[in-house]
């Protein structure tokens, strides 16, 4: 009875216990453009070595970065370097089997007629389904993550030692059309919402491969009894998984350049839109378009919540969001490399009309070229450096404690006050965001 009265009065007076906010990081998709995120992370680790992100979510190619960050068992700075190393010098041969144009055209025709094995697995459909064979990507991830059996074995010790609270990878279930977020972590409940669910799991390379499986182009990946593809296909609320997992503030690193209206008006298309241009727009809608709208919705809800007295918020709380996005058009940069890509990619892009426009979105998704990737790493690093003051304010109350060794990604396991009852039992934590858990 006394505990109930104490809770009532603390809520009424707005004097609930203050706990350090829980930060999360969201890494969106973008194919080869996701190398930009590695550059941003590298600067953050150098400038703020005691920063930590106990909640990490990745979508599409962003899941590759999240896996490298969350699976590494060293300091945050070491983990950031591991992410950068995963991209440095990367070539198309590390991602797909490079075939001739004739072979690719044959695959386009054959795929529609190819019969699946009696017991299909992710491995035995890579060469028969999807336009491109992603066996090299699977081998690259196994090798660079140092996980021969495919299990992300570093996540468990990171959870046990407090360096991580949850690592989440977002996929799309091709059977149901649902967005499925696979989470390895502690202190949260699986969730079910219309067309999206969250599941506990032991994360593996297959989860990462599924999240980054571009629809139609890369083959789907089998997990359990179903087949999964790119996590961005139907993801309308990319901030939601981090909120479900308890994040109070989210750093979202996008790969989408925000064009001004003046820049948009300069782009003219006199001829009929090419197939590659249409595909590029579709790919951007899968990877990127939902984040700005989700962020806008979150800010509007924040405004409403902040106008309410504490006792009328029903456990909801404002969320802090910091977005970092490219200062230059990464698609336009890709145009400079159009003559240096192998013939299959020219067939999928230039062969379908990419040369007719100045910012080839579709080409940039598949441009795993060392020169292009190095540029993206440098741009990401520079953009993060230009955002130093905002990052400093964002990370000010989330860095590791003074008693911890420098660079330790610390998470003491404590949940926010609103998530824990007087008996220490975890309760759902409603949140002011684009989606409530």
Quote the distance between the C-alpha of residue 408 and its chain's center.
Answer: 23
Q: What angle do CA 149, 153, 154 make, to 5 degrees?
A: 145
In DSSP terms, which residues pair with 251 in a beta bridge? Answer: 25, 322
* Confidence (pLDDT) at 314: 82
Phi-psi label, residue 93: left if phi above 0, alpha if psi -120 to 50, beta otherwise: alpha
**By the 8 A CB rule, do 327 and 258 touch?**
no
- On whether the CB atoms of residues 192 and 175 are closer than 8 A, the answer is no
Return phi, psi of residue 349, to 5°.
-115, -75
Residues with Cβ within 8 Å of 383's Cβ and at least 6 positions away in sequence, in order, are 36, 39, 40, 324, 325, 326, 327
How many Cβ atoms from other residues are within 10 Å of residue 57's Cβ?
33
Write out the two tokens for 265: 């008006």
pLDDT digits (tens, 9 = 90+) for 126-169: 555 657 889 999 999 999 999 899 999 999 999 999 999 999 99
> Is the confidence at residue 350, as pLDDT, over 80?
no
pLDDT in tens, 258-279: 766 565 555 555 667 766 667 6
Q: Could you tell me if 57 and 235 are in contact, meaning their C-beta atoms sit under 8 angstroms apart? A: no
Q: Residue 119 — pLDDT band, cuts 50, 70, 90?
A: low
Q: Rounded to a whole number, what is the largest CA-CA distance in the chain? A: 77
Determine the Cα–Cα distance for residues 326 and 36; give it in Å rounded to an integer: 8
Helix 370-386 vs helix 76-87: angle between axes, to the nearest 10 degrees?
A: 150
For residue 363, the model assigns a pLDDT of 81
Q: Residue 184 in contact with residue 166, Cβ under 8 Å? A: yes
Between CA 276 and CA 341 the distance in angstroms is: 16
pLDDT attached to residue 412: 39
Closest CA to 310 of 14, 19, 21: 14
As a whole number of angstroms, the distance between CA 267 and CA 272 comes to: 14
Element (H, E) at 185: strand 179-185
Per residue in 401-410, pLDDT (tens digit) is 433 433 344 4
pTM over 0.85: no
Question: 118 φ, ψ to 5°?
Answer: -60, -40
Average pLDDT of the segment spanning 49-72: 95
Is 181 a residue whose pLDDT tops 50? yes
* pLDDT tens per residue, range 275-334: 666 766 776 666 556 888 898 999 999 998 888 888 888 878 889 999 999 999 998 898
Q: Report CA Rg, the chain.
A: 22
- Return d(Cα 25, Cα 410) in angstroms, integer: 15
Q: Alpha-carbon distance 359 to 329, whole Å?
A: 8
Residues 189-203 as b/e (b if ≥16 CB within 10 A, e otherwise) read eebeeeebbbeebeb
> What pLDDT score does 409 carry?
45
Q: Is 119 exposed, middle or buried (0-12, 13-18, 19+ CB in 10 A)?
A: exposed
Mean pLDDT of the residues in the chain? 79
CA–CA distance, 3 with 11 (Å, rounded to integer): 12
pLDDT of 249? 95
Lookup result for tokens 């491969």: 209
- Quick one: pLDDT at residue 397? 82
């Amino acid at each position: 009875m006394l505990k109930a009265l104490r809770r009532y009065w603390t809520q009424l007076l707005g004097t609930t216990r203050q706990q350090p906010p829980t930060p999360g990081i969201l890494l969106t998709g973008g194919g080869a453009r996701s190398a930009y995120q590695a550059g941003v992370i590298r600067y953050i680790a150098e400038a703020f070595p005691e920063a930590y992100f106990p909640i990490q979510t990745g979508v599409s190619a962003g899941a590759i970065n999240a896996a490298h960050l969350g699976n590494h068992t060293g300091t945050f700075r070491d983990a950031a370097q591991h992410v950068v190393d995963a991209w440095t010098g990367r070539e198309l041969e590390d991602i797909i089997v490079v075939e001739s144009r004739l072979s690719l055209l044959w695959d386009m025709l054959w795929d529609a007629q190819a019969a699946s094995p009696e017991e299909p697995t992710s491995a035995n459909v890579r060469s028969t389904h999807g336009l491109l064979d992603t066996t090299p990507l699977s081998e690259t991830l196994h090798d660079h993550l140092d996980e021969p059996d495919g299990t992300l074995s570093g996540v468990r010790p990171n959870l046990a030692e407090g360096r991580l609270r949850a690592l989440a990878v977002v996929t799309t279930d091709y059977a149901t059309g649902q967005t499925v977020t696979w989470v390895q972590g502690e202190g949260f409940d699986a969730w079910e919402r219309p067309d999206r669910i969250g599941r506990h799991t032991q994360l593996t390379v297959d989860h990462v491969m599924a999240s980054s499986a571009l629809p139609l182009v890369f083959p789907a990946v089998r997990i359990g009894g179903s087949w999964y593809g790119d996590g961005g296909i139907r993801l309308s609320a990319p901030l939601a998984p981090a909120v479900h997992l308890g994040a109070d503030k989210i750093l979202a690193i996008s790969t989408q350049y925000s064009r001004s209206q003046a820049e948009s008006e300069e782009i003219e298309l006199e001829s009929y839109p090419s197939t590659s241009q249409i595909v590029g727009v579709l790919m951007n809608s899968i990877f990127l378009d939902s984040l700005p709208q989700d962020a806008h919705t979150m800010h509007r809800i924040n405004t409403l919540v902040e106008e309410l007295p504490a006792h009328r918020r029903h456990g909801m709380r404002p969320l802090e969001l910091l977005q970092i996005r490219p200062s230059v058009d990464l698609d336009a940069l890709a145009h400079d490399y159009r003559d240096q890509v192998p013939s299959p990619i020219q067939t999928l892009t230039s062969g379908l009309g990419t040369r007719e426009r100045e910012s080839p979105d579709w080409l940039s998704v598949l441009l795993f070229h060392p020169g292009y990737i190095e540029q993206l790493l440098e741009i990401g690093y520079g953009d993060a450096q230009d955002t130093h003051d905002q990052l400093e304010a964002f990370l000010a109350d989330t860095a590791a404690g003074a008693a911890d060794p420098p660079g330790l990604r610390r998470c003491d396991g404590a949940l926010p006050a609103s998530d824990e009852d007087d008996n220490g039992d975890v309760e759902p934590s409603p949140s002011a965001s684009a989606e409530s858990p």
